[in-house]
Amino acid sequence: MTSSAFLTVSELVKRFGEVVAINHVNAEIEPGEFFVLLGPSGCGKTTLLRCIAGLEQPDEGRIVIGDKTVFSSDDDIVLPPGRRNVDMVFQSYALWPHMNTFENIAFGLKLKKMSHTEIKRRVDQVLSDLGMDGLQKRFPFELSGGQQQRVALARLLANQPPVFLMDEPLSNLDARLRLDMRSELKRLHHDAGATTVYVTHDQTEALTMASRVVVMDKGVIQQIAPPEELYATPANLFVAEFIGAPRINLLRARPFSDATGNRLQMEDFSIPAAWLPDREEVIAGVRPENITLHTDGAPDTVQFSVYAVLPAGPEVFVHVVRGDTTLVVRMGPGLKLDMDQQVWVDIDASAINYYEVEGGELVAPST
């Protein structure tokens, strides 16, 4: 990715006293991308978003939006939020309680000295697009949570900024509404075509909505990747464990080869390997859906016993144990299993990722 980026963050550092909230962060966001910042609370994702918005002033680094440098510690550039071509939806919605829906949405347009008729046309248009016709005169306290959320969204859309910033906009909605709003937001982003930076701590939200996801931890970017890649090949153990529910299975493994080919020696069993990492010992990561259970033995399967069966509608999570090894398996609902039943585990060798024992970085195949 080179000069085509629309929003560039380089070597950004933000400290709060002793705490480094953002530590040398780099990101290049393409035009029209849905860029999701994901991570546990306190990882710096919201701070990064607020730095882009201009609500927080970084200590070092550079932020370029479009062809405009909005922040640069070297050149002493700090543009105020209003001059950055961005608008934001806040987690709390930040609607002005003394203004009705119309006034809330029209506020920014009035500041831009837009004509009365144009303001009215735009406000009515966005409200009707969001299915909020006729609520112009309502005050925020007269609206439901979902409606308030839409007003906040309408305020952003009416401004037509080239960059949308969203700080956990769905986290205050109930579960059902949140699902509906996800698809609505995705559609909206598609129709508006605006570059979007979206903060969430909800990995499902990130994976379902993003064109690319940034996983952050302790102010440092762990990985930037499209959702599929993030899920299939996490760059390190933090991402591997953070993404995916239930969690990825991690096993200590010693690679070796014998007459049958490449193998991985686990605690008291071995399984075939697709390739051998050039290490004495690694941590092997395998997702629950890449393991299959059989009720009778077959070549290269390993005997485990069922610890617990957790049905979850269309899928079933099965915990199996063998000695000190526990595996979580994701299965379809067809197979009926009992507790303590003996099962044979079949791990998809091609789906295994290897990680360094020290540091937890992904081990790439040496070519």
Separation of alpha carbons 16 and 41, rounded Å: 16
94 scored as a contact of another protein (CB under 8 A): yes
CB of 111 to another protein, least distance (A): 5
Residue from 25, 37, 64, 143 touching another protein (CB under 8 A): that is 143
Pair of tokens at residue 283: 């941590």
What's the min distance (Å) between Cβ of 159 and another protein?
7
Is 101 within 8 Å of 134 (Cβ atoms)? no
Residue 244: how many other CB atoms lie within 10 Å: 19
- Is 271 one of the binding residues for another protein (CB under 8 A)? no
Pick the stretch among 40-48, 128-136, 212-220, 293-301 that binds another protein (CB under 8 A).
40-48
Footprint on residues 45-84 left by another protein (CB under 8 A): 46-47, 53-55, 80-83
Pick the binder of another protein from 74, 118, 142, 180 (CB under 8 A).
142
Residue type at 140 in one-letter notation: P
Amino acid residing at 170: L
CA angle 28, 33, 37 (to 5 degrees): 65
H-helix or E-strand spanning residue 124: helix 116-129
Count, residues near another protein per rule CB under 8 A: 39
213 interacts with another protein by CB under 8 A: no
For the chain, give the longest Cα–Cα distance.
Answer: 82
Beta bridge partners of 256: 263
Stretch that binds another protein, among 3-11, 139-147, 260-268, 321-329 (CB under 8 A): 139-147
Side chain identity at residue 11, one-letter code: E
To another protein, the closest distance from the beta carbon of 48 in angstroms equals 13
By CB under 8 A, which span of 136-144, 183-191, 195-203, 318-326 interacts with another protein? 136-144
Residue from 78, 111, 245, 308 that binds another protein (CB under 8 A)?
Answer: 111
Helix or strand (DSSP H, E) at 8? strand 7-16
Selected from 39, 58, 61, 140, the binder of another protein by CB under 8 A is 140
Taking the C-alpha atoms of residue 196 and residue 88, their distance in angstroms, rounded to an integer, is 10
- Write out the DSSP string of 156-209: HHHH--SEEEEESTTTTS-HHHHHHHHHHHHHHHHHH--EEEEEES-HHHHHHH
Query: ∠299-302-304 over CA atoms, to 5°?
Result: 145
Q: Should residue 108 be labelled a site residue for another protein when binding is judged by CB under 8 A?
A: yes
37 binds another protein (CB under 8 A): no
Q: In the bound complex, what is the minimum distance in angstroms from residue 62's beta carbon to another protein?
A: 21
Work out the burial of residue 74: count CB atoms within 10 Å of its CB; fewer than 13 is exposed, 13-18 middle, 19 or more buried.
exposed
Stretch that binds another protein, among 95-103, 230-238, 285-293, 294-302 (CB under 8 A): 95-103
Q: Which is nearer to another protein, 22 or 331 (CB)?
A: 22
Q: Give yes or no for residue 159 binding another protein (CB under 8 A).
A: yes
Whichever of 21 and 240 has its CB closer to another protein, that residue is: 21
Q: What angle do CA 7, 83, 164 make, to 5 degrees?
A: 45
275 binds another protein (CB under 8 A): no
* Alpha-carbon span 165 to 46, nearest angstrom: 10
Write down the least CB distance from residue 53 to another protein, Å.
6
In the complex, which residues of this chain contact another protein (CB under 8 A)?
Answer: 16, 19, 21, 41-42, 46-47, 53-55, 80-83, 86-88, 90, 92-98, 107-108, 111-112, 139-143, 145, 148, 152, 155, 159
